[in-house]
Structure formats: structure tokens, C-alpha cells
Amino acid sequence: MTRSNAVMIVTGGARGIGAATALAAAREGYAVCVNYLSNAGAAEAVVKQIVQAGGRAIAVQGDVAKEADVIRMFDAAARELGYVTVLVNNAGILERQTRLDDMEAARFERVFATNITGSFLCAREAVKRMSTRHGGKGGAIVNVSSMASTLGSPGEYVDYAASKGAVDSMTIGLSKEVAGEGIRVNAVRPGVIYTEIHASGGEPGRVDRVKAAVPMKRGGQPEEVARAILWLASDEASYTTGGFINVSGGR
């Protein structure tokens, strides 16, 4: 499967790691479906960059936590771009930094709906289309987890950390479930990366505050995470499944 006929869906592809991944994938020859929840302008800007550089891309609005939206997204990608060969499960949210004993149940529902249910729904639809068991030609799923899954994020967002722990477990289990069906399932665990997600936690400058605790003494860039995602998605990682790449500066 060459990249010239490869099609990648990137959930949460309008900003941050998702946008960097979409742009890098297009440069390598992928046609890209840029999924977004609400920021149509940002998604269209990513698509415009890809198209102006001679690539193929579409923007598809959809809430990954909603089954109908996920199915519609996959159908649109297949219809407009071709057989989907790679899913990058990148969409994720977090909420304001606080202790667990100050969190409300509604917050858990929101975070888990996007980060867990969304990842599972997208992975399910990818398997239905890629698996040789269902008549597919194989493919790759790359889940975007977080170092929070191993560190726990105490005092900030243990709910987010736990949701990424679920993504880790799904990566391991699903990789074994579909390994004989032409699908590889891997994950990257970004550390502190300069993206807008920190503003959602109430601290836009969080990376600069915590970077001293990173062995490399700096925050990461979205493009550095994108390179790991693209390697796992590629045939260069043909014997890698159930694996994790920590893109975290050694933390």
C-alpha cells in the first residue's frame, strides 16, 4: 500500500497535533480527511494549505462521541477520497485544572464521551472497513494517548489521565484482536506540547511552567508528535503493533 493511494482520517484535525499530522501526511502523499467539531475556519485553513500544495483533502464536521457523526465521517472520506487506510484517533478534550473531589459528574461524562467513547467508535468503524474479516484490505490505526496516562495528572485532571489510560488499554487489546486481519494498532503518548489544549485547562502557559521537569528542558512541538504518528501509520512500521512511542522529552 503506497502513500500515493493512501487515505488518512485525522480526528480533531483542525488544530494542534491533528493539524500538524494532517499537513505532514499530505506532504507524504496521503489524501486527508480533516475532522473537526466546531472550528470550521481552522479546518478549512488546513484543507486549503494541502490543496494549494497539490494534495487532496476534505474537512468533515462531526462529534466523535456521536455514533451517527462517526459513521457519516467515514462514509464521506471513502466517498470523496477513497479507501481509508489510516485512522489517527486524535480528537480529545480536557477541562479546567482541579482536584478530583471538586469535579462534577457532568465533567466526567463530557471528557469520557470524547476521549474514550469517541476513540472506540472511530476504531470500530475503521475495523469494519479495513479488516480482511469484513472484506477490507487492511490498514493502520494510530491512537493519540498522553503521558498523562502514566503520570496521572494529580491536582490537574486525573479524569483526562484516566481517559487516556483507557485509550492505552484499547490499543493493546485491539492490536491483538485484529493483528491477523491486516490492521496494525499503535499509539503515541505526547508529553507537554505547545498546543491550545492547555488553555482549555485554564493555563495557556502550562508548558513553560512545567518544562523544567522535562529531562530535555523544553516543551515539544506538534510537528514532533506528527512524525511519530506518521511512522506508525507507514509501512516502515510493518511489524509494529500494540506499541507505544513516548514523544515526551524523556519524561
Q: Which of 36, 83, 160, 194 is catalytic?
A: 160
The structure's pTM equals 0.96
In the prediction, which pLDDT does 6 show?
A: 97
Amino acid in the structure at residue 27: R
CATH of the domain at 225: 3.40.50.720
What is d(CA 131, CA 189) in angstroms, rounded to the nearest whole number? 25
Condensed to tens digits (0 to 9), the pLDDT of residues 191-247 reads: 999 998 777 777 888 999 999 999 999 999 999 999 999 999 999 999 999 999 999
Q: Identify which of 89, 25, 93, 85 has the alpha carbon closest to the alpha carbon of residue 55.
A: 25
> Are 25 and 105 within 8 A, CB to CB?
no
Could you list the residue range(s) of the whole structural domain that residue 33 is in?
3-247
Q: Cell numbers 503518548 label which residue?
A: 189
C-alpha–C-alpha distance, residues 45 and 11, integer Å: 15
Dump pLDDT digits (tens) for 13-56: 999 999 999 999 999 999 999 999 999 999 999 999 999 999 99
- Provide the domain count of the chain: 1
36 carries an active-site annotation? no
Cell 456521536 belongs to: 66
